[in-house]
Amino acid sequence: FLNRQRASDFIQGDTRLRAITQERIRECSKNHQEHQRELCEDYYPCEIYAFRHGYAAAYKHYFGRRRTK
């Protein structure tokens, strides 16, 4: 019989499964710019504005903080 550490030395885990898990984790945590772009793509006027001025400017124009007086 082998102890647990020796048994784990020659039986390797499935690296493909580990890679798939890491990819799913990356999909769940999107960066800030990608999240803003997706919001803008879902709103048609913002998307049209983005074609002319860029997604950063379009997001700021349509979803930026509104100042109230």
Q: Provide the mean pLDDT of the chain.
A: 79
- pLDDT (tens digit, 9 = 90+) per residue, 26-58? 766 778 888 888 888 899 999 999 999 999 999
Query: What is the predicted pLDDT for the residue at 61?
Result: 92
Q: Is 47 exposed, middle or buried (0-12, 13-18, 19+ CB in 10 A)?
A: middle
Query: What is the predicted pLDDT for the residue at 66?
Result: 64
What global pTM score does this model have? Answer: 0.52
Query: What is the predicted pLDDT for the residue at 29?
Result: 73
Domain boundary assignment for the chain: 4-64
Query: What is the predicted pLDDT for the residue at 45?
Result: 93
Query: What is the predicted pLDDT for the residue at 54?
Result: 92
